[in-house]
Structure 1
Amino acid sequence: MADYFAEAGGWQTSAGIDAARRRDWRQRVAALRNDDRAAMIDQRLRELEHEWDIERALQFGFAAAGLFGLAFVAGRKPPWHLLAAVVPAVMLEGAVQGWSPAHAWLRRLGLRTAREIGDERFALKAMRGDFAGIGSHRNEDAVRLATLR
């Protein structure tokens, strides 16, 4: 699913949820900038490497539900056949429409898109000085640009 859903006009979730996610990571980045703690930035970057985005969580959930449904289809009564059919149907709907019913639920649980995680990672790397030698822009400008995304 990569970041297809996020790029295809957004996930159609509440604007308040999306704004809260952006505000949360910007506040985390701003707090690190004020404290100027390189170790904290490195720790947060390690945490981001292991954070699951919505697309990964949906892939895992659909795969697990599909396997569960298939395991119970063999020799069982028809209600289990329905589960095995519904999972691919919901996945297909997400691919065609760019929206999944599970997305709003996952957003409320705090999961973010790959792009949102990448934006925070970029801002942290800019604060750490990873882009200091690139181009003629100063590091502070890169941090400011990253937090405005």
Structure 2
Amino acid sequence: MATAAAVDRVQNHTSEAVNRMIHEAMTERLVYFALHPGKIDERIDELDREWDVERALEANASTLALAGLAAGIVADRRWLALPVFVAGFLFQHAVQGWCPPLPLLRRLGFRTQHEIDQERYALKALRGDFQKVEQAMGRLQKTMHEQRV
């Protein structure tokens, strides 16, 4: 299970203005879906396909590293510096939760998996999913009580 520090490290290394922008956009979406509950399923499907900031960072880094490697082999060996820098950025991100491309990705709206999950669970609560769990737990407790009696 991820610790609170691991979950928050990208947010901790993101400017407060960008974090606020991401949070406010989510809040606006939740208000919209509270008013249009019939569209919640579609939004949850979109969230299942949304790329989090880690995936975007990894995809971009691997693309740049492969391009630098190819250019280094085909064109000029100096291009081999690109994969070295990219690997350094990925290592820095793994250790610190920050790397130079991260602020740009966050400004573009890429969210952490935790932020995506927050919206998903809020939508499920609006849809009433957790009431179903509570009802099932109540039936289970009743059945267990009846079996003891």
Calculate the TM-score normalised by the size of structure 2: 0.79
> Which residue of the partner structure matches residue 96 of structure 1?
95
Q: Which has the larger radius of gyration?
A: 2
Contact 1:17–1:107 (CA under 8 A) maintained in structure 2? yes
> Which residue of the partner structure matches residue 17 of structure 1?
18
Cα offset for 1:11? 4.3
Matched-pair identity in %: 36
Gaps of 5+ in 1: 137-149
> Which residue of the partner structure matches residue 127 of structure 1?
126
CA 1:66–1:9 in 2, change beyond 3 Å: closer, same or farther?
closer
Cα offset for 1:75? 4.8
How many residue pairs match? The answer is 133
Gaps of 5+ in 2: 136-149
Cα offset for 1:104? 0.5
Deviations 1:3-22 (A, max 9, x none): 98643373411101101211
> Which residue of the partner structure matches residue 27 of structure 1?
28
> How do 1:1-149 residues align onto structure 2 when only pairs under 5 Å count?
6-8=7-9, 10-35=11-36, 37-38=37-38, 40-135=39-134
Q: State the alpha-carbon separation in 1 of the partners of residues 10 and 74 from structure 2.
A: 43
Q: How large is the Cα RMSD of the aligned pairs? A: 2.2
Give the number of the structure whose residues are more often helix, by fraction: 2
Contact 1:73–1:81 (CA under 8 A) maintained in structure 2? yes
Query: Stretches of 4+ moved more than 6 A in 1?
Result: none
